[in-house]
Structure 1
Amino acid sequence: MSPWKLCLFSTKPYDKTFFEQANNAYGFNISFFDCELNQKTVVLAKSFDVVCVFVNDNVDAPILEQLKAQGVKALALRCAGYNNVDLNAAKRLGIKVVRVPEYSPEAVAEHTVGLMLTLSRKFHKAYNRVKEDNFALNGLLGFNLHKKTVGIIGTGKIGQATSKILQGFGCTVLAYDPFPQNKLENEHFKYVELDSLIVQADIISLHCPLTQDTQHLINDKAISMMKNNVMLINTSRGGLIDTKAAIQALKSKKIGYLGLDVYEQESNLFFEDLSNEIIDDDIFQRLLTFPNVLITGHQGFFTQEALTAIATTTLENIKCLNENNACPNQLEI
């Protein structure tokens, strides 16, 4: 059986580098498109067997129907989340969907704790001061993570890795997951109900997928239950937080620290150089005005180890499908 032809949408130079390196062991015919997959660009997938997409590509029903009509057999997600894919449409059309359920949980976990430390110790402000020969400490007062209560929402691989790191800081870790893994409880954290976690935590970190049930999980009601001056961290999916509610909580000082690696409307912003553009997203611009908000552009996954794992796992998934073998990373639709 001849290797399938594969095209990647939303590719950056680093995607090409790591996929070409990994492909030495597979021999697929790969084409790279730097544009996102959408109604205007879906025609580029004609004559390919597999389309590989990332977090901000649009894979709704109309797109899937066009892919099917163009002969596409499978959709390969080079990420863990699949909220941008209409799985029901994929099933109806007979398009198989595979993903990378984990690539480097430690990469995202370390980034998560990095956001916590930067916000708590104001590293970013100190860096800018010293660059200007200002060595004053006024305004840089921080707090210890030691003995703080951290709430982890979502205890998958990334939530578990984050918990392990926080234990090393001497934190008390509480966790919530609708599907708890009780064998982990005594090792890394204590499971509690969601409301209990929100009430008790000094720091809340989100590590759950974006679904209909988790959309705006952090909303006005949830925020009202939190401790005053709480730290909120999101390295998972932007839609988990109602951004307008978070802004109101920042203004009232209910949220004392906000660290984001994701944002609700990030598809119009992240992964692109917009330094010479006028950004017309007023909500995002409002977030940037707060001195206690730290935003990174969805880079939690961005390590050498993670990109190697993403490329290798994606190509191995496609190899399984190409050879009609069972693929452990195929989504059960």
Structure 2
Amino acid sequence: MTNTIEFIILKEKKDCELFNRRTVTMKILFFDTKNYDKDSFEKQIANYPEIEMDYLKTDLAPKTAPLAKGYDAVCAFVSSDVGAETMTVLHEAGVKLILMRCAGFNNVDMDKAKEYGIRVMRVPGYSPEAVAEHAMALALEVNRRLHKAYVKVRENDFSLGGLMGFNFYQKTAGIVGTGKIGAAMAKICRGFGMKVIAYDVYQNPDLADFVEYVTLDELLAQSDLISLHCPLMDSTYHLINKDTIAKMKDGVILVNTSRGGLVKTNDLIDGIRARKFFGVGLDVYEEETKNVFENRSDEILEHSTTARLLSFPNVMITSHQGFFTEEALTAISQTTLDNAMTFLKGETNENEVK
């Protein structure tokens, strides 16, 4: 009899635990929602019954952060303002987790996050190949002047004036930063028959067979193509400036698909005017924050830097689209929701920003 009662009590306790596990929910407020964001996350959310997600078109900033009251977490992007003021408002709203659906977190005030006990998790590697392929596309585009060729042919101008490029084959590619994206770019450059050199604080052992690590000065002096793939930190802010530009080869191609702050824009413009660069391809730039993924075609832009860059015939700018492939969006949504589940379970993983 005693054993039967104990069995019933244990069964009821187990059933209660299972019930609680099924009914635990985590509420996430998704900021700066685009249609493709919502479509991608909604395809995955059915696999995460513990999570509820609401979507806002407005981006995260101090004025919009109060909307997070009643939510456990917010989901933000590289263009979001997650600075000290926003962090304070989120703390007052009861938010315990910030889910960055991107690799970068330089727009997050980590000191305030630590002070308030708010955890920050990111997506460090959604699709390295997507960004690397876009970097090479930019390099090829500015090399062969495809943007000019397209416009000329549309005007029935089939002449070749202004379209001269050079072979990448047997030229030198300099990769700054050899994490997952930089490694993918190095492999692409190798496929083009280029000599690949690299600069990074940490050498990637997976590239040992074909990449030679050199100092930054050596990379600048030797490279015909320089592609930036490093995070934005105090040590890399304005890594490309008048001094480092002066050390580059004349006629170099520079590509940046990482963070706009890696390049000091005014110094870059001076270098372009001095004909230092054969071409410049930018998917990111310092002024981009308000422009990212927005249609501003009917507006007069507040600053002239972007317009100045676009005025040069050897410069190509895209709108932070390096990540924008179906595979990458799927990986971003899955990893972000996995991060949320890790938090919900009281666990941690390698995606948490310490």
* C-alpha distance in structure 2 between counterparts of 1:137 and 1:283, whole Å: 30
Q: Is the 8 A contact 1:5 1:29 kept in 2?
A: yes
Q: Which residue of 2 aligns with 1:81?
A: 104
Secondary structure of 1:213 counterpart: coil
Q: Does 1:178 align with 2:201?
A: yes
- Does the aligned pair in 1 maintain the 2:287–2:305 contact within 8 Å? no
Aligned to 1:218: 240
Letter in 1 for 2:180: K
| SS in structure 2 of the partner of residue 187 of structure 1 | coil
Aligned AA for 1:68?
H
Corresponding residue of 2:191: 168
SS, match of residue 28 in structure 2: strand
Cross-structure match for 1:263: 285
Q: TM-score, normalised by structure 1?
A: 0.97
Q: How does 1:290-309 map to 2 (within 5 A)?
A: 290-309=312-331
Among residues 113, 120, 125, which one is paired with 1:102 in the alignment?
A: 125
- In the TM superposition, what is the alpha-carbon distance from 1:187 to its structure 2 partner? 2.4
Structure 1 residue 329 and structure 2 residue 351: aligned?
Answer: yes
Per the alignment, residue 206 of structure 1 pairs with 228
Equivalent residue in structure 2 for 1:122, among 145, 148, 171: 145
Give the deviation of 1:85 after TM superposition. 0.5
Do structure 1's residue 144 and structure 2's residue 167 form an aligned pair? yes
Identity of aligned residues (%): 48
1:253 aligns with 2:275: yes
Instruction: State the 1:327 CA deviation.
Output: 2.3
Task: State how 1:9-48 maps to structure 2 within 5 Å.
Answer: 9-27=31-49, 28-48=51-71
Greater relative contact order, per chain length (Cα 8 Å cut-off, separation 6+): 1
Contact between 1:185 and 1:191, CA under 8 Å: does it hold in 2? Answer: no
CA distance in 2, matches of 1:123, 1:187: 33
Q: How many residues align?
A: 331
Query: Which 5+ residue runs of structure 1 have no aligned equivalent?
Result: none
Aligned AA for 1:83? N
- Aligned equivalent of 2:29: 7
Aligned-residue Cα RMSD (Å) equals 1.0
Please tell me whether the aligned partners of residues 160 and 188 of structure 1 are also in contact (alpha carbons under 8 angstroms).
Answer: no
2:333 maps to 1:311? yes
Shift of 1:328: 2.5
TM-score scaled by structure 2? 0.92
1:144 maps to a residue whose letter is: N
Whether the 8 Å contact between 2:250 and 2:277 is mirrored in structure 1 is: yes
Structure 1 distance, partners of 2:203, 2:157, is 48
Structure 2: which 5+ runs fail to align?
1-20
Question: Equivalents in 2 of 1:200, 1:168: separation in Å?
Answer: 19
The CA deviation at 1:229 is: 1.4
Point out the structure with max Rg over C-alpha: 2
What whole-Å deviation, never above 9, does each CA across 1:31-86 have from its counterpart, x for those lacking one?
11111111111111111101110001111122112111111110100000100001
Where 2:254 maps in the other structure, the secondary structure is strand
CA distance in 1 between partners of 2:96 and 2:210 (Å): 41
Instruction: Give how far 1:188 is off.
Output: 3.7
Q: Structure 2 counterpart of 1:36, which letter?
A: D
Stretch moving more, 78-87 or 32-41: 32-41
| Alignment partners' CA distance in 2, 1:97 and 1:39 | 17
Structure 2: distance between partners of 1:323 and 1:32: 23
In the TM superposition, residue 326 of structure 1 has moved relative to its aligned partner by 2.7
Aligned equivalents of 1:237, 1:188: Cα separation in 2: 26
Q: Contact conserved, 2:31 with 2:60, CA < 8 A, in 1?
A: yes
Distance 1:36 1:187 in 2: 44
User: Alignment partner of 2:296: what SS?
Assistant: coil
